Chain A
Amino acid sequence: MAYIEVAGVSKVYQGDTPDPIVAVDLVDLGVERNSIVTIVGPSGCGKSTLLHMIGGFIAPSTGEIRMDGKRIDAPGPDRGIVFQHFALFPWMTVRGNVEYGLVEKGIAKAERRDISQHYIDMVKLTGFEDVFPNRLSGGMQQRVALARMLACDPDTLLMDEPFGALDAQTRVIMQEELREICRASNKTVLFVTHDVREAVFLGEKVVVMTARPGRIKTVLDIDLADDAPRLKVDEKADEIWDILRDEVIKAVVPGPRPTERAAG
């Protein structure tokens, strides 16, 4: 069995509409330990929902998710998460945020200092330890979020479109730095994005999802060297985009209403 095993998982929401909303529809996915898997798909395809279920924040409607053989039903420090809008605790300084998980673990102050400093340095925020988040730029805030997650030393890293709120230039830098960090550590990484090139650049495997209701369309291996020329990365990205294109159009261009679609 794979390290993270997603078996027959779907998520169905019963809203105010007559038909239920199927965010994720019977997904099976296996993630090997220490691999970096990126998940791409059009908006609303349920990729974030899937990630949130793996994180234990939402319960699946069907199926189950196991990590290392154990069933996932609640969040925990073995699965770290980073969100698109940073979700830093605004009332704590950078150091306060990074040390948060360590405090929860009951680690002593001096040791906490060392650990947090190590990670603050790793994300290149040395000198900003006592600054509050709202004085930081988006890119800097996301680095803090990364450091906060890494400080807990989780086995699995979950990233929910972490660079979506950053400007294009910052994004490129962050992608490079993140890849460095991921390669250097031995962690299992699940990275959700709508940016195909980002998915190819970062991932060893790319999972392509369909438009809602979200299913896995295909899973591709990326065997590019780290220093592969940009052209190669773009080629692969184009290949995936061709697969994804139809799904994106389905998501973006409204089709006939569900009742009509069922009849037709």
Chain B
Amino acid sequence: MTAIRFYTPLFLLVALWQAAAMGGMISAELLPSPSAIISGLVHLASGGDLLTHVGVSIYRQMAGLLLAVIVGVTLGVGMAQVAWVRDVFEPVVRITYPLPKSALIPLLILWFGIGHNSKIFAVFLGCLLPVVVSAFNGTRGVNGQLVWSARSLGTRGIRLLWKIYFRAALPEILSGLRIALALSFTLLVSSEFLIARAGIGYLIQSLGEAGDYSGMFAGILIVALIGFTADRLYVKFMNWMLRWQDQG
């Protein structure tokens, strides 16, 4: 089924919404019509600031996510393979796992204030654990005979880690990353709502405070679309990387 056909009910809903708005059945203040939102969007885009705000947000999110991936995969694989690493870090992981990472945002505000770093670290800390856990589980679950086969074919030491363990753990790492990606959006938007001078979250808040509700809705729509697109692109990337799994 093509995407258009699949999302038809969504389009119908939007059409219904537009009709209801035009028929005066919905308060224009509380729920702007789709057309009002679109014009709000256009207004924002033509203003020139939009790109800056979106760019800032994406920069913060990517920085935090990249940090989480690099540190998280290293830590997860290290914990799975090296006993002392596991002994040192597993208690820390276990203790911090139940803490909702959004609770760290006030602390990050205290430490980093209003600038980029509070958001970057919010994303980093929030996404770290899912990555560590999936890297750990993925590496632990590697079929021992794969490793033996590689060793009998001449692979040794660090090379074994990179060529075999990492590749074999990749499916699990990649699905953990998908979760981390979604989480990164939540943490970015949350922290930008709470304290920021720039960014799409800040933009949405200030539009709302200024009473420009179609603008506010437009901003939210942008966030939704970015999140949706990012996930879709990631799934494509994941399927490409794991094309060898395809059962055909």
Contacts and interface: CB of A to CB of B under 8 A. Distances in A.
Check A-B contact in the complex, CB < 8 A.
Answer: yes
Interface of A: 52, 55-57, 74-77, 79-81, 83, 85, 87, 89-93, 100-101, 104-105, 132-135, 145, 148-149, 152
13 contacts: A74-B151, A76-B154, A81-B152, A89-B168, A101-B154, A104-B153, A132-B244, A132-B246, A133-B244, A135-B246, A148-B149, A149-B153, A152-B153
B155 interface: yes
A73 to B, nearest CB: 12
Interface string B119-149: 0000000000000000000000001011011
Contacts of A145: 149
A52 B145 CA distance: 11
A142 to B, nearest CB: 13
B150 interface: yes
B247 A135 contact: yes
A101 B248 CA distance: 28
Given A132-B244, A134-B245, A135-B247, A87 B151 contact: no
Contacts, number: 73
A75 B152 contact: yes
Contact of B145 (A76, A87, A101): A87
Nearest to A79: B152
A81 B248 contact: no
Contacts of A81: 148-149, 152
Given A89-B164, A134-B244, 7 more contacts: A76-B154, A81-B149, A85-B145, A100-B150, A104-B153, A105-B154, A152-B154
Given A90-B244, A135-B248, A83 B154 contact: no
Contact of B143 (A76, A87, A100, A134): A87
A42 B24 CA distance: 83
B148 A89 contact: no
Interface in B82-112: none
A80 B152 contact: yes
Contact of B153 (A91, A93, A135, A148): A148
B245 A90 contact: yes
Contacts of B168: 89-91
B223 interface: no
A77 B244 contact: no
A152 B149 CA distance: 12
Of B152, B154, B170, the most chain A CB neighbours within 10 A belong to B152
Given A75-B148, A89-B146, A101 B247 contact: no
A76 B150 contact: no
B43 interface: no
B232 interface: no
B146 A87 contact: yes
A148 B152 CA distance: 11
B59 to A, nearest CB: 32
Of B151, B155, B170, B243, the most chain A CB neighbours within 10 A belong to B151
Given A89-B164, A132-B246, A83 B145 contact: yes
Contacts of B167: 89, 91
Closest 9 A-B residue pairs measured CB to CB? A104-B154, A101-B153, A87-B145, A75-B151, A75-B152, A132-B244, A77-B154, A87-B149, A91-B244
A57 B151 contact: yes
A109 B170 CA distance: 26
Of A79, A132, A152, the most chain B CB neighbours within 10 A belong to A132
Given A132-B244, A132-B246, A57 B148 contact: yes
A85 B145 CA distance: 9
Contacts of B247: 134-135
Contacts of A77: 152-154
Nearest to B243: A132
B61 to A, nearest CB: 29
B164 A55 contact: no
B152 A76 contact: yes
A92 B152 contact: no
Contacts of A75: 148, 151-152
A101 B150 CA distance: 8
B105 to A, nearest CB: 39
Of A89, A92, A152, the most chain B CB neighbours within 10 A belong to A89
Interface in B162-184: 164, 167-168, 170
